[in-house]
Amino acid sequence: MPSLAERSEDVPELALFFVRQHARRIGAVVETISEESMKRLRKYRWPGDVDELQSLLERAVTSAREPVLEIDPALLDEGLPLGHYRLMEILGEGGMGEVWRARHQLLARPCAVKLIRPELLGETNQEAAIKRFCLEARTIARLSSPNTVRLYDFGVSETGSCYFVMELLDGMDLASLVQRFGPLPPERVVALLRQACRSLGEAHTAGLLHRDIKPHNLFLCRLGLDFDVVKVLDFGLVKSLREGEANLTAAGSLIGTPAYMPPERAVGAAVDERSDLYALGCVAYWMLTGQTVFAGEPMAMMIHHARTAPKPPSEVLGRPVPERLEQIVLACLEKEPENRPPSAIDLWNQLGEVTLATPWTPERAESWWLEHLPALSRPEPGDDSSGELTLTSIG
Rounded Cα distance between 312 and 329, Å, is: 9
From residue 261, how far is each of 16, 267, 305, 360 by CA, in Å?
A: 61, 10, 7, 29
Tell me which amino acid residue 218 is: L
Selecting among 212, 228, 234, 276, the annotated active-site residue is 212
Edge-to-edge strands, sheet with 170-173:
170-173, 218-223, 226-232
Task: Report the DSSP beta bridge partners of residue 232.
Answer: 148, 218
Question: Backbone phi, then psi, for 261, in 5-degree steps?
Answer: -90, 125
Task: Report the Cα 38 to chain-centroid distance in Å.
Answer: 38
- Helices 323-332 & 344-352, crossing angle to 10 degrees? 170
Quick check: is 212 catalytic? yes
Q: For 123-132, which contacts have Cβ atoms below 8 Å and span 24 or more sequence positions? A: 125/250, 128/248, 128/249, 128/250, 129/96, 130/162, 131/248, 132/236, 132/237, 132/248, 132/249
Residues annotated as catalytic (active site), given as ranges: 212
